[in-house]
Amino acid sequence: MTDRAAAWSALATVRDPELDEPITDLGFVAELTIEPAVDGPGVRARLRLPTYFCAPNFAYLMVADAYDALAGLPGVASVDVRLEDHFAAEEINAGVAAGAGFGGSFPGQATGELAELRRTFHRKAHAACLERACRRLLAEGWQIESLADARLADVPESPERAGLLRRRADLGLPDGPDAPLVIDDGGAPVPPGQVAPRLRFARTVRVSIEGNSGWCRGLLRTRYETTEEGAT
């Protein structure tokens, strides 16, 4: 039986692809209700974003992912996910409800679906998580050159380790204990001389993602004059 807590947990698996955080933590879920019906419960969610002009492709991904997450709950008879207060809300809501895909939601405006966009941002998220994990090892006394020999097993149980493993899985990159820690976007180990530059740029990626997340949270607070948690 699906209850509201289960529906909330399902939405918590949906991440803003750009900010790499759950939409539930970001305050993007404005409303979540379960309505009983003869053939099973109906789930209704309302999503909101920090600005009227947030990029429509990321908005679409979040609405579509939310729809899929809720539709996957056992016994749910109907799902209604709607984005509110956004310039492209009408196209996105109609497209997701009809299963039209991104291209079908914006005819003539797109040359394809969003898999490559999602992958681009998975790579950025992976770089940021790799930098966090390496930063942790460096603080524990590792030398930067020796990180080329480090394995995933060398990163102790921690939020940094958990975050890194999940992004490895997102990208289909090696995530076993013996897998090398410092790899490039394609999964190849980074040679010792290249570890420092790889981590230097990864730091910029991390600063960028963290900064955007803070900016978006602030704008959402300002726009809706609320705390961030939304419909908890």
Partner 1 sequence: MYTANGESYFVVDSHVHFWDGSPANQANRYGKGFIECFYDYHRNLSPEEWVWPLEKFAKYSEADLTSDLFDTGYVDRAIFQPTYLSDFYVNGFNTTEQDGVVAEKFPGRFIVNGSFDPRDGEAGIERLEALAERWSLQGVKLYTAEWKGASKGWKLSDDWAYRYLEACERLGIRNIHVHKGPTIYPLNRDAFDVADVDDAATAFPNLRFIIEHCGLPRLEDFCWIAVQEPNVYGGLAVAMPFIHTRPRYFAQVLGELLYWVGEDRLTFASDYAIWSPKWLIERFVDFQIPEDMQAEYGVLTPEIKKKILGLNAAKLYDIPVPA
Query: Contact positions toward partner 1, by CB under 8 A?
Result: 18, 50-57, 87, 102-103, 106, 108-114, 116-117, 120, 124, 201, 203-205, 207-208, 210-212, 214-215, 218-219, 221-223
- Closest by CA position to 44, among listed 54, 28, 30: 30
- Closest CB to partner 1 among 16 and 25? 16
Min separation Cβ 212 and partner 1, Å: 5
Min separation Cβ 183 and partner 1, Å: 18
Position of tokens 């209850």? 3
Tokens of 187: 């999964």
- Closest CB to partner 1 among 59 and 190? 59
User: Which H helix or E strand runs over 155?
Assistant: none
Put the strands of the sheet holding 29-35 in their side by side order.
29-35, 42-47, 78-83
Residue 9: how many other CB atoms lie within 10 Å: 13
Position of tokens 């942790």? 136
- Closest CB to partner 1 among 44 and 221? 221
d(CA 228, CA 217): 7
Min separation Cβ 222 and partner 1, Å: 4
- Closest CB to partner 1 among 67 and 102? 102
Min separation Cβ 19 and partner 1, Å: 9
